[in-house]
Amino acid sequence: MGVPDPDVPQLLGAVADALNKCERAGIAVTLAGGAAQTDHGYVMAVGDRRLGTRWAARLRAHHPMSPEPGPDDD
C-alpha cells in the first residue's frame, strides 16, 4: 500500500456524514455483504474489480403482500 490519498479522510467523513443523516431521518442503515442497506434501498460496489469498483445506489422494489383494497372490500 502506498501513501493514502489526501482526500481519504474527507471522503470517509462524507460517507459517515451521509449515514448519520440517514439515521437522523429515521432510516436505519446496516452493513451486510459489502453493501450499505436500508429498508428503502442500498449502496453496493458494482463493476469489474480488475478495473476498479464504483458504488451504485439501488432502490428496493416494494411489493405488497396483498393487493390494495378495492371498492368492493369492506
Task: Tell me, yes or no, whether 19 lies in a domain.
Answer: no
Is pLDDT at 42 greater than 80 in this prediction? yes
This prediction's pTM: 0.53
Task: Tell me, yes or no, whether 54 lies in a domain.
Answer: yes
Q: What is the residue range of 39's domain?
A: 33-60
Task: Tell me, yes or no, whether 2 lies in a domain.
Answer: no
Of 1-5, 39-43, 52-56, give the range with the top mean pLDDT.
39-43
| Total domains in the fold of the chain | 1
| Measured distance CA(36)–CA(72) in Å, rounded | 42
Task: Tell me, yes or no, whether 17 lies in a domain.
Answer: no
24 C-beta neighbours (distance < 10 Å), count: 8
The per-residue pLDDT for range 5-17, each reduced to its tens digit, is: 668 778 778 888 8
In this structure, the strands spanning 54-59 and 41-46 are: antiparallel
**Three-state SS across the chain?**
CCCCCCCHHHHHHHHHHHHHHHHHCCCCCEEECCEEECCCEEEEEECCHHHCCEEEEEECCCCCCCCCCCCCCC
Task: Tell me, yes or no, whether 69 lies in a domain.
Answer: no
Task: Tell me, yes or no, whether 44 lies in a domain.
Answer: yes
